[in-house]
Amino acid sequence: MVGGYLLSDPPNFKRVQMDLVTHFFWAFSTIRNGSCTTASTAGINEVLAERQARPDLKVIRSIGGWGAANFSDVSSTDAKRKAFVASCIDAFVKNGATDGFDLDWEFPISGGLPNIGYSPDDRQNFNLLVDEFRTQLNAYADAHGKSRRDFLVTAALPAGRWQDSGNGVTGAPYDTNTSFDLATLGRTLDNINVMTYDMGTGYSPVSMFNQPLYKHSDDNTGDQYNSTDDAVRYYIEHGVPRNKMTLGVEFTLARGFVTTTTLNNGLFQQWTSTGCGQTTAANALNPSNTSILINWDAQVQSPYLWNPTTRTFCSYETAHSLGIRSKYAKEQGLNGIFTWQLTGDASGSQLRAVSLPWQPEKVTAAPAPTVNGTTFYPNASQSFSGTVATVAGSSADSLTAIINWGDLTRSPGTVTPTGGGKFAISGTHTYATPGAYQLTVSTIDPDSLNSRMVNGYAFVDTSPYPYLAGLVDKFSTNSGVTAGLNAKLNAASQAPNSTARANKLDAFINQIRAQTDKAVTAGQADTLTQLAETLK
């Protein structure tokens, strides 16, 4: 399943590559006077035309959304439930517009805005409301000679995240199972759209990622389920089958914080206000904007932006990082991926990326290129010009690149084709002080829908010992550990000490540690690290 929400009436399908979408969630109908609000005639007609062009497309009307009121009231009695569900079927099923309903009650009992209405019975009443939708849709299918399986009842449910504690302002760790009987819903619903995003918002006690794939080791807030992987585990532990879960991603939307300190690039710090301001993904990816640093966090598998001048931390996703999440959903045996919302992806690259694991016959993509950083040895206070990274295996006519030089400065890289899908990325820079610097080179390849970040190393005013320079170069290009590498490290340990040498070896140790997720095993990397430590 590749699902997507569109929040508009009419939907305006022309904005979206709909052939990649298997389940379209049309948002939102709300609740007024105990009934579903209807859609416009233009909206209904556009949906009917799309269904005629795509008979395999499932169209599901989503009811509710953040801040939508009156769920508690219409689910409170049997009579109200029957009348409400009947009104929804009258508005969207009898005219052939939809194949069912998606319930987006945010949230029963607690966790939503204070004015939506609550009752201690909300949790059980939601179960009964789902049952009523199922009962009436089954009856409609039977009466019209259709299969009951043709009609779906789904729900959009939250991940375990920081949410409203009840007064609309203060955040608190949110326990989804307090609001929803997950074990029961895992049986009665056809699918659960798990909203594994909005994890870093104005409810968060510190700055954090919006949709981290895994929990960050620096996250000491105490919310053990505030990541995609933890949310999936939470649902499984509470009785929801993997094949009833669809993983949620947010397109393009960036969330950020203005922090009180510049520590840790603004991550997991106290904040004074939310929002990215000028530190937006689109603005930062402009190579001429040198005040914003682009970073990749390997733990959460997400990029982020950091503006040290304004102390603004900004969490966002790319086609590459969202593709990683879609692949994760596939590997976990989930039912699919869905996005909020489809129009957030103006270029279509993010939708294509999340579709790849689920629609291999419909989508083809060029293989992601290989990007390697280089090691170079400039002099302090002198301009350096040269290659800082190389690219191989790209089918693109052109690449774009941005170089973070490791000293809080940034500039666009010059990309030069060298033939056969290979490129050299070069730049010009002056380091003010001696030392060891770790660069980050960001490349964007339009054909593979991916961006890549790779580290390079600059040793400023550190005359390299030939054997040590060769060792670093060898390790950069061949991360397999051999007896020869170990022998070179042992030999290097006999060299005389110097400050320049210590700086160089610090960077080399960092490089070894950075390679632990590549061809080098953790044990091999530990061995290299221990040997390198002896060089000081």
pLDDT of 262 over the 50 cut: yes
- Arithmetic mean of pLDDT, 354-372: 65
pLDDT of 448 over the 50 cut: no
pLDDT band at 442 (very low <50, low <70, confident <90, very high): confident
Task: Name the CA dihedral angle for 58, 64, 67, 71, rounded to a multiple of 10 degrees.
Answer: -150
- Arithmetic mean of pLDDT, 209-221: 93
pLDDT above 70: percentage of residues in the chain: 75
Name the residue with higher pLDDT: 294 or 229: 229
Architecture per CATH, domain 366-461, reads as Sandwich (2.60)
pLDDT above 90: percentage of residues in the chain: 52
> How confident is the model at residue 482, as a pLDDT?
43
pLDDT band at 398 (very low <50, low <70, confident <90, very high): low
Q: Is the peptide bond before 84 cis (omega within 30 degrees of 0)?
A: no
How is residue 367 annotated by DSSP? P
pLDDT band at 279 (very low <50, low <70, confident <90, very high): low
Name the residue with higher pLDDT: 454 or 177: 177
Question: Can you tell me whether residue 119 is helix, strand or coil?
Answer: coil
> How confident is the model at residue 437, as a pLDDT?
77
> How confident is the model at residue 170, as a pLDDT?
57
What residues contact 161, with CB distance under 8 A and at least 6 apart? Answer: 174, 198, 199, 201, 203, 223, 225, 226, 231
Average pLDDT, the chain: 82
Half-sphere exposure of 89 (CA within 13 A, CB side): 19
Measure the CA–CA gap between 387 and 177, rounded to whole angstroms. Answer: 54
pLDDT of 171 over the 50 cut: yes
Other beta carbons within 10 Å of 503: 18
> 290: which 2 tokens?
């040198």
Name the residue with higher pLDDT: 522 or 157: 157
Name the residue with higher pLDDT: 523 or 209: 209
- Arithmetic mean of pLDDT, 52-58: 95
- Arithmetic mean of pLDDT, 80-107: 98
Query: What is the pairing mode between strands 35-36 and 31-32?
Result: antiparallel
> How confident is the model at residue 493, as a pLDDT?
46
Domain ranges of the chain: 2-195+241-251+317-355, 366-461, 465-536
User: For residues 159 and 196, is the Cβ–Cβ distance under 8 A?
Assistant: yes
Name the residue with higher pLDDT: 385 or 3: 3
3-state helix/strand/coil string of 235-253: HHHCCCCHHHEEEEEECCC
pLDDT band at 469 (very low <50, low <70, confident <90, very high): very low
pLDDT of 9 over the 70 cut: yes
Q: List the single range of 64-68, 199-203, 285-289, 445-449 with lowest mean pLDDT.
A: 445-449
> How confident is the model at residue 173, as a pLDDT?
74
> How confident is the model at residue 516, as a pLDDT?
43
Name the residue with higher pLDDT: 463 or 261: 261
pLDDT digits (tens, 9 = 90+) for 11-26: 999 989 999 999 999 9
> How confident is the model at residue 478, as a pLDDT?
44
Vertex 356, ends 320 and 446: CA angle to 5°? 45
pLDDT band at 376 (very low <50, low <70, confident <90, very high): confident
- Arithmetic mean of pLDDT, 465-487: 44
The domain defined by 2-195+241-251+317-355 carries CATH number 3.60.15.10: no
Name the residue with higher pLDDT: 111 or 75: 75
pLDDT of 457 over the 80 cut: no
> How confident is the model at residue 463, as a pLDDT?
39
pLDDT band at 391 (very low <50, low <70, confident <90, very high): confident
pLDDT band at 509 (very low <50, low <70, confident <90, very high): low
> How confident is the model at residue 365, as a pLDDT?
46
How is residue 491 annotated by DSSP? H
> 25: which 2 tokens?
């969630």
Q: List the single range of 90-99, 169-178, 425-434, 457-466 with lowest mean pLDDT.
A: 457-466
* pTM for this prediction: 0.74
Unique residue bearing structure tokens 């309903």: 101
- Arithmetic mean of pLDDT, 349-368: 71
> How confident is the model at residue 476, as a pLDDT?
44
- Arithmetic mean of pLDDT, 478-506: 50
What residues contact 361, with CB distance under 8 A and at least 6 apart? Answer: none
Q: Do domains 2-195+241-251+317-355 and 366-461 have the same CATH topology?
A: no
pLDDT of 480 over the 60 cut: no
pLDDT digits (tens, 9 = 90+) for 314-327: 999 988 899 999 99
> How confident is the model at residue 530, as a pLDDT?
57
pLDDT of 305 over the 80 cut: yes
pLDDT of 81 over the 90 cut: yes
